[in-house]
Structure 1
Amino acid sequence: MRPLTDDETKVLFEKLAKYIARNIIHLIDRPDEPYCFRLQKDRVYYVSESNMRRATAIGRKNLVSLGICFGKFTKTGKFRLHITALQYLAQYAKYKVWIKPNGEMPFLYGNHVVKAHIGRVTEDIPEHQGVVIYNMADVPLGFGVSARSTVDMRKVDPTGIAVFHQADNGEYLREEDALF
């Protein structure tokens, strides 16, 4: 595992800022112990510094993963968040969308969220901003990108797309091989 370069860190933080805005600081400067981001092959892991130091005793070829996989860098240099980062995105999310029970299964099968499935949303969501999707019992189901602002969501017809799907908990089953 190696530290991220300045360019990689910039790309990662820009992606995270779409979902958690200035709360990125809470990921790094935690009260319990400091955490950091490390790169193993093309995957970015979020790991405590104490565990990272312990892992230096393991050879790079033998180390499969360490910490929580936040996502991976594509061949074009872009960063793609994985569903494994949902725990932290949900904890620090700025914009949230709650979906009704009849909309949970379509979302968990990888479909976009339509307006008819929305139970409630946080105010002032801008267009093309990262949102975390919850069910009505406040359980995080996944995340996506808002297709419209909050004001425009109210005007669209019930079958119009409100949130573009990015990742959901169903990926643990659908893409089991690609996540880790």
Structure 2
Amino acid sequence: MRPLTEEESKTFFEKLSKYIGRNIVHLVDRPDGNYCFRLHKERVYYVSESIMRRATSVGRDLLISLGVCFGKFTKTRKFKLHITALDYLAQYAKHKVWIKPNGEMSFLYGNHVLKAHVGRITENTPEHQGVVIYSMADVPLGFGVTARNTIDIRKLQPTDIVVFHQADVGEYLRDEDSMF
């Protein structure tokens, strides 16, 4: 467990800012204590400093996890957000998409969001912007990247892709062997 290097921090925060923008500040500067991001076995964890200090007494080879896993670095040093970060992404997301009940299962099986499934979308959402996907009952289901901006989405056919799938809560069941 170690702090992120400057290059790792840059890559990580660029990816995170696609979803929550400047709200990253709210993750680090919290009124209930100091929190930080730490790297352990190529995974980035979000943990309170008090728990992190206690974990230093555990050997690196014995430490499995610490705090909330936000994602991991690939072999090519790109960062991939995991579904375990959804609670924080949903809390601070700048752009959101709500999908109709008939599109929820399709999304939860790992498919992209089609225009026919979109119930609402945040105004002025740009193209290739990270968005959090919600059900119509305001339950966060996952996250993705927009295929078009809000104005272009209105002109699309019902079968056109609006949001590219990145992760969804169905991954807990589909990929439970490889997630941690």
| TM-score, L = length of structure 2 | 0.99
Q: Tell me how far apart the structure 1 counterparts of residues 110 and 5 of structure 2 sit (CA, whole Å).
A: 33
Q: What residue in structure 1 maps to residue 75 of structure 2?
A: 75
Counterpart mapping for 1:157-176 below 5 A: 157-176=157-176
Deviation at 1:179, TM superposition (A): 1.6
Q: Tell me how far apart the structure 2 counterparts of residues 70 and 178 of structure 1 sit (CA, whole Å).
A: 15
Counterpart mapping for 1:67-106 below 5 A: 67-106=67-106
Q: Tell me how far apart the structure 2 counterparts of residues 175 and 45 of structure 1 sit (CA, whole Å).
A: 19
CA-to-aligned-CA distance 1:1-48 (integer Å, 9 cap, x gap): 010000000000000000000000000001101110000111110000
Counterpart mapping for 1:15-94 below 5 A: 15-94=15-94
CA-to-aligned-CA distance 1:85-135 (integer Å, 9 cap, x gap): 000000000000000000000000000000000000000000000000000
Runs of 4+ more than 4 Å apart: none
Matched residue of 2:104: which SS? helix
Q: Tell me how far apart the structure 2 counterparts of residues 40 and 16 of structure 1 sit (CA, whole Å).
A: 18
CA-to-aligned-CA distance 1:117-174 (integer Å, 9 cap, x gap): 0000000000000000000000000000000000000000000000000000000011
- Unaligned runs of 5+ residues in structure 2 are none
Aligned Cα root-mean-square deviation (Å): 0.4
User: Which letter maps to 1:71?
Assistant: G
Q: What residue in structure 1 maps to residue 153 of structure 2?
A: 153
User: Which letter maps to 2:168?
Assistant: D
Q: Tell me how far apart the structure 1 counterparts of residues 67 and 178 of structure 2 sit (CA, whole Å).
A: 17
- Unaligned runs of 5+ residues in structure 1 are none
What percentage of residue pairs aligned between the two structures are identical? 76
Q: Tell me how far apart the structure 1 counterparts of residues 89 and 128 of structure 2 sit (CA, whole Å).
A: 17
Q: What residue in structure 1 maps to residue 13 of structure 2?
A: 13
Matched residue of 2:137: which SS? coil
User: Which letter maps to 1:170?
Assistant: G
